[in-house]
């Protein structure tokens, strides 16, 4: 008769297995919660800053598109703030109470009156931005619209818009925002921080 062969369990290596105790598990959970709480504010700021960047890129892209269409068509093309961009026939805003976060439209402004009339072709529509802290003009001039002549020049001399992050309130939040400058020549550019100064160039 052959002697019995004893085999060690491959996972125990001859020693008993041991798991986490309840106390150890609670300590790990507490550490994870603390780290998550510390990471939340920077992550929130990152999301807000990313949203602002997206809004600025959309605004600049559509304004450049409006300018290129004015040059190509040989007529005025207007980009205006709209309070009803999702309507079947969206129109330019007539008040000066809100900012561009309500949305905007780009259209062929045949009669160059900064208002979309019957028969004027709609080229682009940008919906309302729910994750915006506001897109505000600087100064007392009405910047509800940006019209480009057939020459590509802009009818909004030295306009300045502040793009703010959602929930903006403190001065520190301005650093997460952006400033968009529109020159008389129709050049549109962005500057870091929502409190930057446009020099008109």
- Taking only the tens place, the pLDDT of each residue in 26-70 is 888 888 777 766 655 555 666 777 888 899 999 999 999 999 999
CA–CA gap between residue 137 and residue 143 (Å, rounded):
6
- HSE on the CB side for 34, CA within 13 Å? 6
In degrees and rounded to multiples of 5, residue 77 shows phi and psi of -130, 130
Asked if the structure places residue 17 within a domain, the reply is no
Domain with 45, as residue range(s), is 22-192
Give the CATH number for residue 178.
Answer: 3.55.40.10
- How many domains are contained in the chain? 1
Residue 146 domain flag: yes
Mean pLDDT, range 120-130, rounded to an integer: 94
Is it the case that residue 8 has pLDDT exceeding 60? no
Put the strands of the sheet holding 159-165 in their side by side order. Answer: 132-137, 159-165, 178-182, 188-192
Question: Residue 9: inside a domain, yes or no?
Answer: no
């Amino acid at each position: 008769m052959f002697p019995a062969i004893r085999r060690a369990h491959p996972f125990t290596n001859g020693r008993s297995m041991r798991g986490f105790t309840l106390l150890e598990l609670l300590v790990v959970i507490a550490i994870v919660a603390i780290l998550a709480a510390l990471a939340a504010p920077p992550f929130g700021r990152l999301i807000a800053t990313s949203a602002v960047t997206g809004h600025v890129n959309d605004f600049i892209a559509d304004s450049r598109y409006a300018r290129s269409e004015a040059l190509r068509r040989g007529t005025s093309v207007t980009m205006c703030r709209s309070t009803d961009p999702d309507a079947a026939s969206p129109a330019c805003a007539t008040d000066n109470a809100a900012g561009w976060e309500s949305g905007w439209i780009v259209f062929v402004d045949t009669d160059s009156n900064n208002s979309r009339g019957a028969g004027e072709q709609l080229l682009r529509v940008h919906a309302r931005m729910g994750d915006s802290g506001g897109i505000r003009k600087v100064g007392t001039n009405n910047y509800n619209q940006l019209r480009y002549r057939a020459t590509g020049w802009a009818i909004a001399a030295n306009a300045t818009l502040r793009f703010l992050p959602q929930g903006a309130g403190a001065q520190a939040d301005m650093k997460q925002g952006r400033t968009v400058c529109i020159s008389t020549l129709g050049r549109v550019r962005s500057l870091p921080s929502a409190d930057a100064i446009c020099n008109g160039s």
